[in-house]
Amino acid sequence: MRKDVLSLYNFPMSSVIILHNSRAGRATYAAQVEQLADDLTHDGHSVRLERRENIAGLRTAARQAAAAGTSAVLVAGGDGTVGAIAGELAGTATALGILPAGTANVLAKTLHIPRPGFGRPSHFTQAARLLLDSPAQLTDLGCANGEHFLVWAGMGLDALVTQVFERQREVSRRVGGFAYNVAVTFISARDWHGLNLTLRASGPKGASQVSGHFLMATVCHTGWHGGGLFSFTDDFHLDDGLMDLWAFEGRTYADGLAMAAQVFTGRHRHGHPKIHRLTGSSFEFEAMEPQMYQVDAEPQPATRKLSVSVTPRSLRLLVPPAAAAQLYLNPGSNA
């Protein structure tokens, strides 16, 4: 046992389970996750690695881990996998840690957790050691028509794109992930003309509503969108019981490109008549016809009504201290 390593952990983990979504990210991640399990075992942790090829199997494993009193569940997967597991661990004593293994890994980007990249074959081990040296933060959790999420949920262009990604998942894994998905997004947007929606938000400061024809409407827990390519805002916290509904009016590809330029350059932050931000703790989407929606970039069945709620501080999430100081109103509070 390496006592020099064990002494680094100020958040002691007696037992750790690694849940690996084997369909997420690159095929080479399988060997890297195995190496991670060996590294953490060598560090002195009691580690078990479990692989599943579907979300249902991962959910079951997470529930079993929480019931067994496991200290931490480290999830190697994308944002959709992490959000699904978060729903199973909410309200339990088991902490959730993120091992970025998806395409965009937006939540890992937000939390400053090491992500995959060229020259970083050991990013899983780096991420795990950083997280196991970090206290758990009580974190808000979203729920959209019964599906939990940590990053976003919405209707419109992002929902359309997630449907396309799901159909082309294996192609994306082979040709390089993020860059391919960005290209697919812009190609898919050419034929998208938006949808009619009534959007409502309610929270401590009251209720608000907007209706119109939108290219996209999304409830966001973080400030990032578009796989982390676009920054909507840096004015948010992960433990304030609130989220933002961002809605973009438009009908054409040109409208979409204009909106993307506004957000990419940050000009939308000074106000734009066709970009709406509604803040609240619960939200309602009402469409004239059934529409696709997405939850943490996972496609969902079409519906006319989408209800989103925020459950405050319900998840124990392992967060590096530097990120916690920036993203939480009460960093280091009892979790």
**pLDDT number for residue 163:** 81
Which residue would you say has higher pLDDT here, 188 or 138?
A: 138
User: Is pLDDT of 307 > 60?
Assistant: yes
Which residue would you say has higher pLDDT here, 18 or 230?
A: 18
**pLDDT number for residue 180:** 60
**pLDDT number for residue 53:** 84
| pLDDT, tens digit, 9 for 90 and up, residues 243-283 | 999 999 999 989 988 998 999 899 999 899 999 999 999 99
Is the full-model pTM beyond 0.85? Answer: yes
| pLDDT, tens digit, 9 for 90 and up, residues 123-170 | 889 999 999 999 999 999 999 999 999 999 999 998 888 887 666 665
User: In angstroms, what CA-CA distances link 234 with 115, 222, 309, 332, 334?
Assistant: 20, 8, 21, 21, 25
User: Is pLDDT of 21 > 80?
Assistant: yes
**pLDDT number for residue 188:** 73
**pLDDT number for residue 121:** 60
**pLDDT number for residue 120:** 60
**pLDDT number for residue 12:** 47
| pLDDT, tens digit, 9 for 90 and up, residues 44-97 | 889 999 999 889 999 999 999 999 999 999 999 989 999 999 999 999 999 999
User: Is pLDDT of 118 > 70?
Assistant: no
**pLDDT number for residue 244:** 97
User: Is pLDDT of 189 > 90?
Assistant: no
The pLDDT mean for the chain works out to: 87
**Over the Cα atoms of the chain, what is R_g?**
20
Q: Which of 326, 334, 333, 332 is nearest to 110 (CA)?
A: 326
**Buried b / exposed e along 22-39 (16+ C-beta atoms within 10 A):** bbbbeeebeebbeebbeb
For residues 179-200, average pLDDT: 81
Share of the chain above pLDDT 90, in %: 64
Predicted confidence band of residue 3 (pLDDT cuts 50, 70, 90): very low
User: Is pLDDT of 1 > 60?
Assistant: no
User: Is pLDDT of 119 > 70?
Assistant: no
Structure tokens at 283: 């939200």
For residues 172-184, average pLDDT: 60
The structural domains of the chain, ordered by start, are 3-134 (3.40.50.10330), 147-312 (2.60.200.40)
**pLDDT number for residue 123:** 85
Distance of alpha carbon 47 from alpha carbon 59, whole angstroms:
18
Predicted confidence band of residue 9 (pLDDT cuts 50, 70, 90): very low
Structure tokens at 112: 């400053």
For residues 11-22, average pLDDT: 79
**pLDDT number for residue 174:** 56
Q: Which of 164, 85, 75, 140 is nearest to 113 (CA)?
A: 75
